[in-house]
Amino acid sequence: MILGDLLLGALVSLICGLDRTAVLQVMISRPIVAAPLAGWVLGDPLVGLQIGLLVELLWLARLPVGAAIPPDDTQVAIASTVLAIGFGKLLSASGLEMELLSLLVAIPLGKFGQFFDRFARQFNIRLVNQAEAALLKGNLLTAECQHLRGLLSFSFAAVGTYAVIVIGGLLVIPLLWPLIQPSLVHSAGWLKLALPLVGVAVILGTINVSRALTLFCASFGMAFLLMWLV
């Protein structure tokens, strides 16, 4: 895998990771935006769009709001896109199978994003106390420096999560690909269908309506009816 691709992916992960909670929050951190952006930077936005759609559905109901710290869906989307494109070039294995394998490897590693994010928030609590002390003394420059240090902690959290997922993928995917590639050829279509269905089920589980079960069954039946008609 080309080192330049990994570094470009790290740059995208940094920008989108800061947008997640620390800066602006213009929603480029959402997987449906971040993954195609990473794919566009690496020359294959379609791979990023396909991965971003799957990740977006899986994590749509779990947002980093308030004290909630879900697994880092932003870095999962970006890192799996980088892995899929990179190994597609190295192994001549571009396609849905490599995208799904990269995504399945990246999803559990996204749990590290919780640890890094929690550490960044705990570190920033100390910075807030130091900034308040500086303001009481009238030292505005020191308070501003503490504020910028807070951005650095979230930067390290984002890039750290990206690095863990990419390194894990670099170690695991070359070993798994020869073993499960024949099976993925036959099951990739079903996996592509299963992941959105799981995401839809998660979203419906969070809807505050009295007939969520009826809504889920109707949607499920409609999906299979459309498949039958096609």
Distance CA 49, CA 195 (A): 15
Mean pLDDT along residues 14-33: 84
Unique residue bearing structure tokens 């798994």: 176
Average pLDDT value over all residues in the chain: 77
Window from 145-149, 195-199, 224-228 with minimum mean pLDDT: 224-228
pTM flag (> 0.85): no
Mean pLDDT along residues 131-139: 69
pLDDT tier at 122, thresholds 50, 70, 90: confident
Domains in the chain: how many in total?
Answer: 1
The secondary structure element, H or E, covering residue 230 is: none
pLDDT tier at 188, thresholds 50, 70, 90: low
Q: Looking at the domain assignment, is residue 105 inside a domain?
A: yes
Angle between helices 140-206 and 96-109 (to 10 degrees): 120
Asked whether the predicted pLDDT for residue 208 surpasses 60, the reply is no
Q: Looking at the domain assignment, is residue 138 inside a domain?
A: yes
User: Could you give phi then psi for residue 25, rounded to 5 degrees?
Assistant: 60, 55
Q: Looking at the domain assignment, is residue 129 inside a domain?
A: yes
Q: Looking at the domain assignment, is residue 53 inside a domain?
A: yes
pLDDT (0 to 100) of residue 67? 60
Q: What are the structure tokens assigned to 207, written together?
A: 């809807």
Higher pLDDT, 68 or 97: 97
Structural domain containing residue 130: 3-184
Asked whether the predicted pLDDT for residue 19 surpasses 60, the reply is yes
Q: Looking at the domain assignment, is residue 139 inside a domain?
A: yes
Asked whether the predicted pLDDT for residue 79 surpasses 90, the reply is yes
Mean pLDDT along residues 117-130: 76
Distance CA 3, CA 136 (A): 47
Is there a contact between 163 and 156 (Cβ–Cβ < 8 Å)?
Answer: no
Q: Looking at the domain assignment, is residue 205 inside a domain?
A: no
Window from 15-29, 61-75, 214-228 with minimum mean pLDDT: 214-228
Distance CA 55, CA 184 (A): 19
Highest mean pLDDT among 52-66, 117-131, 151-165: 151-165
- What are the Cα distances from residue 182, in Å, to 99, 127, 186, 189? 15, 52, 7, 13
Which of 110, 89, 92 lies closest to 168, judged by CA? 110
pLDDT (0 to 100) of residue 2? 74
Distance CA 206, CA 174 (A): 37
